[in-house]
Amino acid sequence: MSPTRPRNESFLSLGSNLEPELHLRQALQELTRHGRVRAVSSVWESPALGRPDQPRYLNAVVRFETDLSAEDLICRLIPEIEKRLGRVRSADKSASRPIDIDLLVFNEETQPVAGHRIPSPEIQERAFVAWPLAELAPGRSCPGGNRTFREIAEALGARDLTRRADIQLMHNAIHPESSNEGRSR
């Protein structure tokens, strides 16, 4: 019998401003095919960065366990899911998108992976990333730092953010068949 590899724990940010409720749910369902979604934050609404002409974003953070490496997540799984859900990468980094997935934390690692820094600098810079992350792991320290996720979120403030209690993602990530509205049984 071969020894089982320990599961890697990661936190992923999800964001969408094109049919966001649909695309966030679809992204979660895609993730469940490659690991285990352990928790999903509340959905947070935020303006598009630097683009008041665009629809507002819906954002969430997912605690995800997988046997995939950080490199596999960044180079293979995340781009595959984004492409499947209709994301087209363009030179305009501020373009609206059906889905944006970023690896924020991978285990307790602090290293560059495939051109990305782990943990992601967005944790320290963007309230729409920090608040949902703090919701899932408030007392956990950011790898390589001495502040907890809650302390980081509080330092950034919550101006321009709205928690959307009317949108529930976790149940649908675990039980996708129950999210098919109007389906007869």
Known catalytic residues are 87, 97, 100, 102
185 Cβ contact partners less than 8 Å away, ≥ 6 residues apart: none
Asked whether the beta carbons of 161 and 44 are under 8 A apart, the reply is yes
Tokens read off for 110: 């602090």
Question: What gap in Å lies between CA 142 and CA 71, rounded to an integer?
Answer: 20
Residue 148: Cβ within 10 Å count: 16
Helices (H) and strands (E) in the chain, counts: 7, 8
In terms of C-beta density within 10 A (0-12 exposed, 13-18 middle, 19 or more buried), how is residue 106 classed?
buried
